[in-house]
Amino acid sequence: MKYYLIVNPISGRGHGERSIPEIEAQFKAAGLDYQLTRTEYPGHALKLAREAEGCDVIISAGGDGTSNEILNGILESKRNGSQPAMAIIPVGRGNDLAYSMGIPATVTDACKCIVEDQRRRVDVGRVYGDNFPEGRYFGNGVGVGFDAVVGFESLKMKWLTGFASYIVAAGKTTLLYFKAPRLKLVTPEGDHTGEYLMVSIMNGIRMGGGFYMAPESKPADGKLDLCVVNQVRRRELLPLIGKFTKGTQKGDRAVNFLRTSQVEIHAIEGSIPAHADGETVCEKGSSIRIELHPQKLEMIYQPGLRD
C-alpha cells in the first residue's frame, strides 16, 4: 500500500513540524511506503488531497482545519480508481475530529493505529452557507451561535493554544454574545422555533478541544445529533459551560437534544454565526442547510477506543 502523508508544519504552534522525525521513524520501522509533503498555505492540504493519485491512504498530520481540508479533498476528487482511506495524526490545537473518530491522542499511538490499519466507514456531513454556497463537507460538526463565536475568538489568541484558548474565549464570549437570535430549525421530523443561544449539529462528540456537545453521538449511525441551547441569563452561562466540559448538560432545562439526517436553520430575528470543523461558514448569515451522507468515508481508527 502507498501512503500520502500531508503535514501542516505550523499546526499546534509548530507541533506538526516537530512531530515529523517521530512519524518518519515509526513509518520506516514498519516498512510503510509513504510520501511526505508539507503544506505551505491555507487550502494547500485540500489541493494536495484532491490531486493525489495512486495512494491508498491519505494521512492528515495537523489539526482540525488540516483534517477538514483533506477530508474535502478526498471526497471532491475526480481521481481514477478507488477512493483512498483517511487517517489522522492529531498535532493541532483541538483535534476534535480525531477524538470523535476514535483515533489516539498521541503521535506514537496514532502512528501505531495507522500501521495496524483497522478501518470503518463513517458518516460525513455537508453544510451550505454564505462562504460555501456549493457546500463544504465536515466530519465532526457545525457550530451555530455562541459556539461559533467562541471559535472565532479563540483564533485571535496568539498567547494560548489548545483547550485553554477555548476556555478563555468562552469566558470572553459570555460578554460579547449573550442575546440569542430567534431561529427556526426545519427537519424532516418537525420544525422548532425559539431564541437559541447555541445549536451544535454534531456527527462527532466534542468541539473546542474539550466541550462535549453530543456525548452520545456516533459517527457511523446515520444521524446528526443536535444540541440546542435556549436563551439563558448571563449569570447562568458559566455554570452551563462547565456542564459541557463534562458532557453532563443532558437534563438541564435550557438544553434539548434532537436527532435527524438534515436540518435547515433560518434566522427570524438576528443573524447566524456558524463554523464547520473550525472553518467559518458565515459570520452574520440568514440561513444555512446541513445534510448527512451516511458511510461516505473510510477512516483508519482504533477499535474500542470510542465505539
SS3 annotation, 221-250: CCCEEEEEEECCCHHHHHHHHHHHHHCCCC
DSSP state of 51: H
Q: Please, is 49 exposed, middle or buried when counting C-beta atoms within 10 Å of its C-beta (0-12, 13-18, 19+)?
A: buried
User: What is the per-residue pLDDT for 148?
Assistant: 73
Residue 123 is placed in which grid cell?
458518516
Q: Which is more confidently placed, 18 or 162?
A: 18
pTM of the entire structure?
Answer: 0.90
DSSP H or E run through 99: helix 96-100
The CATH fold assigned to 2-117 is Rossmann fold (3.40.50)
125 touches 138 (CB < 8 A): yes
First to last CA, the chain: 26
User: What percentage of the chain carries pLDDT values higher than 90?
Assistant: 73
Contacting residues for 68 by C-beta, under 8 A, at least 6 apart = 97, 137, 138, 139, 276, 277, 278, 279
* 148 closest CA partner among 196, 114, 191, 113: 196
Integer Cα distance of 303 and 235 in angstroms: 41
Residue 82 CA, distance from chain mean position: 25
Q: Which residues, 6+ apart, have CB-to-CB distance to 16 below 8 Å?
A: 7, 8, 9, 10, 61, 62, 91, 92
Beta-bridge partners for 89: 61
Spell out the domain ranges in the chain: 2-117, 127-294
For the ranges 200-204, 264-268, 276-280, the lowest mean pLDDT is seen at: 276-280
Interstrand relation of 57-62 and 85-90 (parallel, antiparallel or unpaired): parallel
Predicted pLDDT at 79: 73
* Mean pLDDT confidence for 2-31: 95
Find the mean pLDDT for residues 210-219. 92
The most confident of the ranges 109-113, 174-178, 274-278 is 109-113
157 pLDDT exceeds 60? no
* Strand, helix or coil for residue 297: strand
From 80-94, 147-161, 191-205, 268-282, the region with the lowest mean pLDDT: 147-161
- In contact, 152 and 273? CB cutoff 8 Å: yes
CATH architecture of the domain with range 127-294: Sandwich (2.60)
